[in-house]
Each structure stands twice: as structure tokens, then as C-alpha cells.
Amino acid sequence: MHMKLAIVLSTQPAKFNAVAFKGDLEANVAKIARWGYDGVELAIRDPNIVDAEAIAAIMDRYNLAIPAIGTGQAWGEEGLSFPDPDPAIRRAAIERVKSHIPLAARFNAVIIIGLLRGIVKPGVSQEQAMAWVVEALQECSEAAAPHGVRLALEPINRYETTLINTVREGLSLIEQVGADNFGLLLDTFHMNIEEPDMEESIRLAGDRIFHFHVADSNRWYPGAGHIDFRSLLQTLFETGYEGFISGEFMPEPDADTAAQRAISYLRNLQTDLTKT
């Protein structure tokens, strides 16, 4: 088995500092390919200001896939979110997600709904916020379906949002949204905080796992903390998961070192997994 490994890369300046790379796309892509990664996960604030053909040419040149597109910068830098009390902002958040569909279809990438699902703002009840999130996800999933595009919501730890912290909450949301092309992105950093038993949660999510982020317990590269990646990845592959494992960790001690240590650790682990 070849474990497909990707790493998160931003196409424009981002405040989110766990985005391991910023700046010049081609130089970064060249390095990522040289280190042995199979893909890059692009964090894109606004698809209308990126040049899809230029990106495609670079990916072709280095033979890298784009397994997923992150949308969180639209929240971080523009404040767009599904449960905002201002209807114009809610609409803009939905339209922004929909505007990712052509790009996602072009690259066969999953659209990630991370922090774009928002937080519960003052004056809004948790119930109202969830209702807006469900409606937004229904509209976006429906728009994406004819293009063969899938959306993956990421359960995110309690310190960043109160909306969907756990895999179980994610699965109940999936029932409410009721779309086959809507699933989950599991992130080991968030799972380590929120899941009572990470292996059990992975098994529970099963074929609704559309994408997978890895960072260690301290959000450094895998191998730098105390998460048992051997057990987690074994469990993940036992569910039949055939997607990418995408590194999303702090650029510590620096971005290049982190990326190289992550891939060397995960490739070693892969040898072990193949043996079992």
C-alpha cells in the first residue's frame, strides 16, 4: 500500500499559522514534491482571485494532486460564516463555498468546511446557529452534487467553536443535512482534545470520512507529540479509507524541517503498517 500524503499550503497570506507554507506557490510545490509528498492541500480564501490554470500547470509539472481545498481564510480574514446574525454575511459565506465548486471539480478536490461554519455570535442561540449551518450545508451540498464535488465538515475543538466539536456531532449533522456528498474531515489534533476514544470515532465515522488531517498532540508534525499514529492510521485504513493523509501542523522549528520530519515519520510508519 502507498499512503497518499499531502501537506497544507496557502496560496495567499493567511493569519492561520498552522498553515505550514505561504508565499511562492511553485517554489513550495517543488520542495514538497522533492520531499516525496503526493499532493498539496490548498487553502484558498477566494477562488475568484486564484488562477486555476496556473495552479494546474504547476501541479502537472510536479505531478502532485490537490486532494482538498481549505476555505477557512474567508472566515479568518473576511469574517464570513454560515451562522452570522447578518443575513448578507450568511449569504456571502454560502456563495463563497459555492464558488469553490468549479475549482474543486477541476482538481477532484474535497471542499473543506472548517471555521467557515462559524461560531455562535452574541444574540444568536446555539439552536438558531445550528439551523443556519444545516441550511447552508444543504444548499452547498446540493449545488456541488451535480459536479461530483464532495464537502467535508471538520469537527473542531471547543476552544475554536461550539458548533460541531466531535465526530458524533458531525455524524448527527450529516443526518440532518441528508446529502450523500456531505461527510467529515477528521483532524487528529482536534480528535485528541475531543474524542474519548479516537479509534472508535474513526470506526464510527467509517465511509463518511472524506478527508484526514494529521498533527500531533502539540500541533507540531506527527512524531513530535504523544498521539499513537500507528494505531490511528491502521484503524483509518481498516475502514476502507483511500483518500489522502494531509499534514496540517505548526511551522516548528521551521516549515521545511516540519514538513520533512512529518513525511519521514509517516513513511516509516507506513512500512510497519504494511507488515501488520
Residue nearer to ligand LER on the CB measure, 32 or 152: 152
At closest approach, how far in Å is the CB of 185 from Mn ion?
A: 7
Q: Three cell numbers at 265?
A: 515519520
Longest dimension (CA), the chain: 55
Cβ 82 vs Cβ 72: under 8 Å: no
List contacts with ligand LER (CB under 6 A).
Answer: 16, 72, 114-115, 154, 156, 160, 187, 213, 248
- Could you say whether residue 216 binds Mn ion (CB under 5 A)? no
- Could you say whether residue 187 binds Mn ion (CB under 5 A)? yes
At closest approach, how far in Å is the CB of 72 from ligand LER?
A: 5
Piece in contact with Mn ion (CB under 5 A), picked from 59-67, 131-139, 201-209, 213-221: 213-221
Residue 160 known to be catalytic: no
**CA distances to 88, 135, 167 from 81, in Å:** 10, 13, 21
> Which residue shows C-alpha cell 439552536?
127
At closest approach, how far in Å is the CB of 260 from ligand LER?
A: 21
**H-only helix segments in 13-100:** 25-34, 52-62, 73-76, 87-99
Residue 154 known to be catalytic: yes
* Among Mn ion, ligand LER, none, residue 67 binds (CB under 5-8 Å by kind): none
**CA distances to 4, 71, 116, 135 from 86, in Å:** 41, 20, 15, 15
Candidate list 41, 194, 195, 248, residue with the active-site label:
248
Candidate list 41, 154, 194, 195, residue with the active-site label:
154
Q: Which residue, among 81, 98, 100, 77, has the nearest Cα to 89 in the 3D structure?
A: 81
Chain positions 63 to 122 lying near Mn ion, rule: CB under 5 A, are none
Contact residues: Mn ion, CB under 5 A: 187, 213, 248
- Residues noted as catalytic: 154, 248
